Amino acid sequence: MFQRCVRLTICSLAFLSACNNGDAPGNQQEKLPEIVDYNFDIRPVLSDKCFACHGPDANKREAGLRLDIADSAYKALRETPGAHALVPGNPMASVLYQRISTTDSSMRMPPPSTNMALSNYEIKLIEKWIKQGAKYKPHWAFVAPVTPALPKVNKEKWARNEIDYFVLARMEEKGLEPNPAADHERLLKRLCLDLTGLPPSPERMDRFAKDTSDAGYERMVDELLADSAYGEKMAVHWMDVARYADSHGYQDDNYRTMWPWRDWVIHAFNENLSYKDFITWQLAGDMIPGATREQLLASGFNRNHKITEEGGVIDEEYRIEYVTDRTNTFGKSMLGITIECAHCHDHKYDPFSQKEYYELFAFFNNVKEVGLQSVVGGPETYAKTPYMEITKEDLKGVLSFINKQDTNRLIVSVMGEKDTTRKTYILGRGNYDNPTLEVQPETPHAVLPFDIKQYPANRLGLAGWLFDKRNPLTARVFVNQQWQEIFGRGIVKSTGDFGMQGDLPSNPQLLDWLAVDFMRHGWNIKRLMKQIVMTTTYRQSATISKEKLKADPENIYLSRGPRFRLTAEGVRDLVLKSSGLLVPEIGGPSVKPYQPKGLWEMATSGRGILATYRQDHGKSLYRRGLYTFIKRTVPPPSMMIFDASNRDQCEVKRASTNTPLQALIMLNDPTVLEASRVLASRLMQKDNNTTSNITKAFRLIVCRTPQKREVDLLQKYYDQQQQLYKQQPDNAVKLLKHGEYPMAEHLDNASWAAMMQVITTIYNMEETLSKT
Amino acid sequence: MKNEFIEHHLNMNRRKFLSRLSLGVGSLALGSLLVPDLFGKSSGEEAPFIPGMPHFAPKAKRVIYLFQNGAPSQLESFDYKPKLREMMGQELPASIRMGQRLTGMTSGQSSFPLVGSHFDFKQYGEARAWISDLFPHTAGIVDDICIVRSMFTEAINHDPALTFFQTGAQQGNRASFGSWMSYGLGSENKNLPAFCVLLSRGKGNGQGVYSKLWSNGFLDSIHQGVQFSSGESPVLYLNNPEGIDMANRRQMLDQLAALNDQSYKEFGDPEINTKIQQYEMAYRMQTAVPELTDLSRESDDIIKLYGPDCLVPGTFAANCLLSRKLSESGVRFIQLYHQGWDQHGNLPNEMAGQAKDVDRASAALITDLKQRGLLDETLVIWGGEFGRTNYCQGKMTADNYGRDHHPRCFSIWMAGGGVKPGIVYGETDEFGYNIVKDPVHVHDFHATILHLMGLDHEKLTFKHQGRRYRLTDVAGKVIPGLMA
């Protein structure tokens, strides 16, 4: 183990020195491609190193030179008449090439002062590209996808569906062999976590063990997709996208009631609403002619942003903030573009002008709302105008999925248009008090111009435009997000940025195939999920050979199954489900489980009902992670430490870190201790055979039968702990006190405490908290 | 030259790292903590600088930031304006206000009567700096500090202004100041996080603090600020549960390491080894942190210096003492927040209380660091998120008034770590409304502090979603006048 580490270390250091010489890592020895491709080889370099001064931002453009558009790059230079930046076929005559390859630092581009140097490889690449004609191509992501032909592969038998063909072709290209199939226990755990967010029950494990055939696997997939836990699992990612929270945010951060909207999201996924309807209702549910109450509720999506209750703010400043948030969320989550960069100036890398930003902004700028409607107050402040009141009739009818538990008035913020049109202006430097030119609703031209004849110039029209067959981004962005949730990494790694500075797709044909197929089949989400988990690609084992770790450390080419840590919600759900504590109720107001004392109190302004944390009791302690109360300014630490979103803004991708604080939570959080205690008592009350109890606990938690040496090790640990707690009966009593769940009776404390310790140990295993 | 410098550092680290490998699993965590992103997987797609290594010789090694949350009035502390007393109750001249935007709290006021400080000022030290009677202890260390009277910001409300100060942008989701330091310089102590946060609150009108203020943003979460609390557990989830002592914890960790090691043999996933190391680091923190946060063994002289409050957990004084101990142990960035400085009304009363909470301990921290020979390498900062208006908000009586938010000028002070001591920097007009000399923008402030830490604010970047982010966004300049 140590030797490995040492080697890794030295490699890392060598890698860093290489960086330092200005050579891109890994590329040093790499051969130049036969045909240099603008999109895949050249544009990433130009975008990263040149466009900031010679790109789309007209205000920052130097020497009038623009390199992101062919015509501008070919034409005579303004400052050196007769010369051209690019002379196709002739690098030596191209001023661009002269300037990047010169040794004269006063002439060198990019200027040394920018701290951006081109590597030798990059310079050679550009030289070859010019030699081959300096051909530009439109940015791949802004060209609508078409179904690519299935690639030829050597091992046809390996492929189960089209996805496998595309993945295998890439593997073969890179000289990688696919991993064998995962064993059925680990595969089932993976599948259950991906489709329901919960570990498999022993009953499911037994059933699947009896029939691991393709048909048996497919039956399991169908069963899981039909499980209501599926909607809860899918909702987690969407709550990040929607920046869902249970408080208004900003300094006072008092309570809000958006949870009925969250209940709708779960319902919509379970009902398998098409992605088109799912989004259309969220963007413009209020504007659909004859809108249903459900569609109106869905539009709450765009009211999940923070809303201030700070007395004395400038109203318009905050109203503009809200519209900005909606515009940015739309761009990032549905179009996968960083349109927010054009909020203050033209985009530096992508062809989005500041004017286009405000044209998009105009769609969201006509809401019947104010910046500051009310300061911290009572139930009337839990939603802000426009809002809907959930009535008894709603609950009996179309909104029966809302888990309302009391008779109090329930209001939810939703969207609603003003009767007149509010004018939209470009805001100078993005400042609310600096309106300049008036603009009309429009969409970014580079993506797809807005056809005013086909669509009304409002949010409903915008939704129509989003699902226009010619829109190049919508389907790609969504399938990529779902791919990321399953494989841990999108086909486009930068999930929120399909623009020039984003990552290129690791398998462009696969992405396009998935996108077109998704559109053709009615934007059917469950179908997409099934298609992915049915593949041979998905079913591979997750073991990493040394060779593969070296050749493809990030598993970009998918020659092994996905293996990564569970999400924050996943950790909690696994602990509760495997111990039998989970209360599988769906929806309702968010709950306040155990949390270290004093956190809300330390950080509050003192105003509002969230100034103090009033922990819940009883069944509210055992709800799934997605129901944990999110107070924006003090989000639950046990979730944040496992990389959950703080819901401050739209997020499409979570980090996955490995820190000591995570270890401390798993060792010391009452949730884990209580689960260990309760599971120990339940097993022991049924059976007094320690070995078989250890085996059962292991199977419930790790979702596989333990190996003999694992049982032996834990058995020995049990014996030792039992001895210890026999000698320290007081400590046994103390240990068994954690958590509010009622105590079991008639158990020997020392044995119980020992079994509890064994189970806590199993909860802390790396494999337990990993999708394997 | 630059390459030689980096090469030298790489050699140093390589030697350090390899020599410590023989010490066991724990030292591996140490190596990666020293240079946290060296072995990490997400240090951006490329490293324009090498994380964990300064760009040039630093003057300061560590920062303690005594943030005065809510915005203390500069006019009752460090910016002496006798004119306001002379013109007490008279209207703020339009020529001074120049149409500057006001918050919604006073924009509806029909008049803006000037109001002078309720408290007297005297001159102290070689710089003959004016300091109000509310801050006698700070006056006592005046020759060690640099008072900046010309700070200004862009935000006018608490949340965006605080967020701006702590992350360099008014919107959330960027990396905070301390996270940048952790990312840029790493930690000096293998048992402690590089960035720690301590909260306290006074009795004055308070504004909340938000965990996004110490968020790692787009940086690795290892750079997140770790909040210390005054409760039973100084770091969240640090304490073993009742019924488990350290010896017993060790036994569990040994079983766990054995189980995880088997898993590593099967899967070959390096994350499994990292997990084993993180459990070891957690174990070490369990010993190191309580030792450090135990203030009961401090000498009488120290207790006297910080005042009796320092023995009351959760007070500003206790946090100052704790911050000295953390800093001494190598914590790179310690962020204190003291709430309660938002005096829209009842200013004389509330501000006296707030000042009493913080004055003695703030000065004690400087004295303490100095007597330990640590002030030269430790940068201490004291200040809020904006200033307060020179006119009265609400009702004005002979001895009571309030002041609204004022972003155009305010005062902070800094000490140690390469800051020029014993000077007063910058100047406001006689009304204390606009800056007339040497303005310091928040971005300039960040650039200067990074410079003192050996980091070039234009080179300390992180590429995220296609853009290279900086603490100073796209602006900021180092202010030589503030540096020794």
Q: What is the pLDDT along chain B (484 residues), one digit of tens a residue?
A: 444 444 444 444 433 433 333 333 333 333 333 333 333 333 333 344 566 678 888 999 999 999 999 999 999 999 999 999 999 999 999 888 887 788 777 877 888 999 999 999 999 999 999 999 999 999 999 999 999 999 999 998 888 899 999 999 987 779 999 999 999 998 888 888 899 999 998 988 877 788 889 988 888 777 888 888 877 788 899 999 999 999 999 999 999 999 999 999 999 998 898 899 889 989 999 999 988 888 888 999 999 999 999 998 889 999 999 999 999 999 999 999 999 999 999 999 999 999 999 999 999 999 999 999 999 999 999 999 999 999 999 889 888 999 999 999 999 999 999 999 999 999 999 999 999 999 999 999 999 999 999 999 999 999 887 788 999 988 999 999 999 9
Q: Which of A13, A543, A637 sits opposite B236 (nearest CB)?
A: A637
CB contact under 8 A, B222 and A657: yes
Query: Burial, B361: exposed, middle or buried (Cβ in 10 Å; 0-12, 13-18, 19+)?
Result: buried
Angle at CA A746, nearest 5°, toward A745 and A747?
95
CB contact under 8 A, A655 and B6: no
Chain A residue with CA closest to B199: the answer is A602
Distance from CA of B260 to the nearest CA of A (A): 6
Does A545 contact B at CB distance below 8 Å?
A: yes
Instruction: Give the pLDDT confidence score for residue A291 in this predicted structure.
Output: 97
B113 DSSP β-pair partners: B91
Distance CA A437, CA A460 (A): 25
Contacts of A633 in chain B (CB under 8 A): 208-212
Does B17 contact A at CB distance below 8 Å?
A: yes
Does B201 contact A at CB distance below 8 Å?
A: yes
User: CA-CA distances (angstroms) from residue B397 to B16, B392, B394, B404?
Assistant: 66, 10, 10, 16
- When computed from its CA atoms, the radius of gyration of chain B, rounded to whole angstroms, is 24
Going through A472-577 in order, the beta strands assigned E by DSSP cover 564-565
Tokens of A373: 């409607």
CB contact under 8 A, B103 and A312: yes
What is the helix (H) or strand (E) element at residue A186, kind and residue range?
A: helix A184-196
Chain B residue with CA closest to A710: the answer is B259
CB contact under 8 A, B243 and A737: yes
- Give Cα B305 distance to the centre of its chain: 22
Half-sphere CA count of A26, side-chain side, radius 13 A: 6
Does A434 contact B at CB distance below 8 Å?
A: no
Contacts of A648 in chain B (CB under 8 A): 172-173, 212
Instruction: Give the pLDDT confidence score for residue B34 in this predicted structure.
Output: 36
What b/e string do you get for A144-172 counting C-beta neighbours within 10 Å, with b at 16 or more?
A: bbeeeeebebeeeebbeebbbbbbbbbbb
User: CA-CA distances (angstroms) from residue B287 to A34, A481, A641?
Assistant: 59, 42, 21
Would you give the DSSP letter of residue A623? -
Does A338 contact B at CB distance below 8 Å?
A: yes
> In chain B, positions 305-344, which contact chain A (CB-CB < 8 Å)?
none
Q: Are A437 and A354 in contact (CB under 8 A)?
A: no
Q: Which of B104, B222, B267 sits opposite A313 (nearest CB)?
A: B104
Chain B residue with CA closest to A339: the answer is B465
Distance CA A599, CA A622 (A): 21
Peptide bond into A660 cis (omega under 30): no
CB contact under 8 A, B239 and A668: yes
Chain B residue with CA closest to A608: the answer is B208
Q: Name the one residue in this structure whose structure tokens are 């090790």.
A: A713
Would you give the DSSP letter of residue B427? E
Contacts of B39 in chain A (CB under 8 A): 8-9, 12
Q: Are A297 and A391 in contact (CB under 8 A)?
A: no
Instruction: Give the pLDDT confidence score for residue A359 in this predicted structure.
Output: 98
Distance CA B481, CA B464 (A): 34
**β-pairing, B62-69 with B333-339?**
parallel
Distance from CA of A12 to the nearest CA of B (A): 7
What is the helix (H) or strand (E) element at residue A43, kind and residue range?
A: helix A43-49
Chain A residue with CA closest to B282: the answer is A660
pLDDT tens by residue, A200-257: 999 999 999 999 999 999 999 999 999 999 999 999 999 999 999 999 998 899 999 9
Q: What ipTM did this prediction achieve? A: 0.88
Tokens of A762: 């199993």
Q: Which residues contact B98 (CB under 8 A, 6 or more apart)?
A: B434
Instruction: Give the pLDDT confidence score for residue B389 in this predicted structure.
Output: 96
What is the helix (H) or strand (E) element at residue A424, kind and residue range?
A: strand A424-427
Distance CA B18, CA B422 (A): 44
Strand, helix or coil for residue B419: strand
Extract the residue ranges of chain A whose pLDDT is less than 50.
1-29
- When computed from its CA atoms, the radius of gyration of chain A, rounded to whole angstroms, is 29
Tokens of B148: 């900046």
- φ and ψ at residue A622, rounded to 5 degrees: -125, 35
What is the helix (H) or strand (E) element at residue A168, kind and residue range?
A: helix A162-173
Q: Are B355 and B78 in contact (CB under 8 A)?
A: no
Q: Name the one residue in this structure whose structure tokens are 């004084």.
A: B317
Q: Name the one residue in this structure whose structure tokens are 């190191």.
A: B288
CB contact under 8 A, A660 and B39: no
For chain B, the maximum distance between any two Cα atoms, rounded to a whole number of angstroms, is: 81
Tokens of A78: 């303004």
Distance CA A238, CA A261 (A): 11
End-to-end CA distance of chain A: 21
CB contact under 8 A, A5 and B459: no
Let me know how many helices (H) and strands (E) chain B has, helices first.
13, 17
Distance from CA of B255 to the nearest CA of A (A): 7
Does A652 contact B at CB distance below 8 Å?
A: no
Q: Are B437 and B159 in contact (CB under 8 A)?
A: no
Q: Which of A21, A499, A663 sits opposite B278 (nearest CB)?
A: A663
End-to-end CA distance of chain B: 25
Q: Are B339 and B201 in contact (CB under 8 A)?
A: yes
Strand, helix or coil for residue B128: coil
Amino acid at A221: V
Does A767 contact B at CB distance below 8 Å?
A: yes
Q: Name the one residue in this structure whose structure tokens are 């010679």.
A: A54
pTM, rounded to two decimals: 0.84
Amino acid at B436: V
CB contact under 8 A, A658 and B278: yes
Angle at CA A414, nearest 5°, toward A411 and A418?
120
Strand, helix or coil for residue A716: helix
Does B215 contact A at CB distance below 8 Å?
A: yes
